[in-house]
Amino acid sequence: ETGVTQSPTHLIKTRGQQVTLRCSSQSGHNTVSWYQQALGQGPQFIFQYYREEENGRGNFPPRFSGLQFPNYSSELNVNALELDDSALYLCASSHGGRGWDTEAFFGQGTRLTVV
Amino acid sequence: RKEVEQDPGPFNVPEGATVAFNCTYSNSASQSFFWYRQDCRKEPKLLMSVYSSGNEDGRFTAQLNRASQYISLLIRDSKLSDSATYLCVVNPQTGANNLFFGTGTRLTVIP
């Protein structure tokens, strides 16, 4: 077990709705990154949080937003859900933030289905 | 052009076979390279880091060729438990500190 937990594990939402996904990072880790993995594809970087601030963002629209809390847990929010948002959402926990200094540990993911 | 490209496979090999996966990356300034393994409907897990000098971990050998921007993974004496998707991963360290993943190569080891 990696010590990174995500909730919920599965979720079904309707197009146009909003969703919040949660991630608890591994103890001692201060950096959380979020990835979207569509079926048959590799994970795609959404954004990273380091010490409660956004530390980089991938090619995702503003309706994807995030937050990191003082205990370094994190949320991913997606507004105005579209069918193409259906994917496995992965959270990765690491320590550092200025380079991939430590191994990134992934949570088990949240499988989101938009209907 | 994608940041990381790899052959999606599938590779179906008999137990005991040697199999090699390759991938290429587009950013010549990339700093860190990895192979991750992902089992069906599970999260990716680090298999090994890849260094210019090459590195070996048991039956697994990884190589990096910076001049050709090419990364490889060799698995010797394949086991049934090696069946998984192998993801080639690059960290460009451009400040965002994110990982770029290939689409993954699916391996099935057949008894």
Residue in B closest to A33 by C-alpha: B98
What local confidence, expressed as pLDDT, does residue B97 receive?
65
The string of pLDDT tens digits covering residues A39-64 is: 989 999 999 998 899 988 999 999 99
Chain A residues interacting with chain B (CB cutoff of 8 angstroms): 2, 31, 33, 35, 40-45, 48, 50, 55-58, 90, 92, 96-100, 103-104, 106-109
Q: Strand (E) positions, chain B?
A: 4-6, 11-14, 19-25, 32-38, 44-50, 55-57, 60-65, 70-75, 84-91, 100-101, 105-110
Omega before B44 within 30 of 0, i.e. cis: no
pLDDT tens across the length of chain B (111 residues): 788 999 888 999 999 999 999 999 999 988 889 999 999 989 999 999 998 888 999 999 999 999 999 999 999 999 999 999 999 999 877 555 688 999 999 999 999
CB pairs under 8 A between A and B: 66
Query: In a 3-state reduction of DSSP, which class is residue A84?
Result: helix
Distance from CA of B68 to the nearest CA of A (A): 22
Residue B43 and residue A90: Cβ atoms within 8 Å? yes
Residue A74 has pLDDT above 70, yes or no: yes
